[in-house]
Amino acid sequence: MDNHTKGKLGEKYVRRYFLKKGYTVAGLKKGEKGYDFFVSKSGKSLRIEIKTTERDNHIPDMHDNEFIIKNKKILFRADYLYIVVISNGGKIRYLHILSKKEIDTYAHKHKIVRRIRTSKMQTEMRNNKHFGKVI
């Protein structure tokens, strides 16, 4: 399965996940970048970024447009990162949910060139350290 198809499948799954929980899901407005969509409920809005993979404990590289630089710190644009793990046949296996704070902890240790390597986050996930929320 190509990356574009995997990405669309992950977005579809997460969109359905939020709709079932009673959220309103909205696409990005023209010119917005760094996340896939907004969700809102009871007046609270969240920016959601989604990465989809077929490999356990793997986070695809994140690109520079998913971050901003503020006061010399690299900060994740979205409020949450949803990592959708699918089988080779495209069925959803599980979902990792990481907060902005968790991503920012790793991002500030990198220089932004074109993408952020996620190997340290992957290692912690693989070693079953408390990192994110798996559902």
Structure confidence at residue 61 (pLDDT): 78
Please, what CATH class does the domain formed by 3-134 belong to?
alpha beta
Q: What is the pLDDT of residues 91-135, one digit of tens each?
A: 988 888 989 988 888 776 665 544 555 666 667 676 765 555 555
* Cα–Cα nearest to 123, from 40, 65, 56, 27: 56
Q: What is the pLDDT of residues 60-103, one digit of tens each?
A: 878 888 888 888 788 889 999 999 999 888 898 888 898 998 88
Q: Where are the domains of the chain?
A: 3-134
Q: Is the dihedral of CA 124, 70, 113, 33 positive or negative?
A: positive
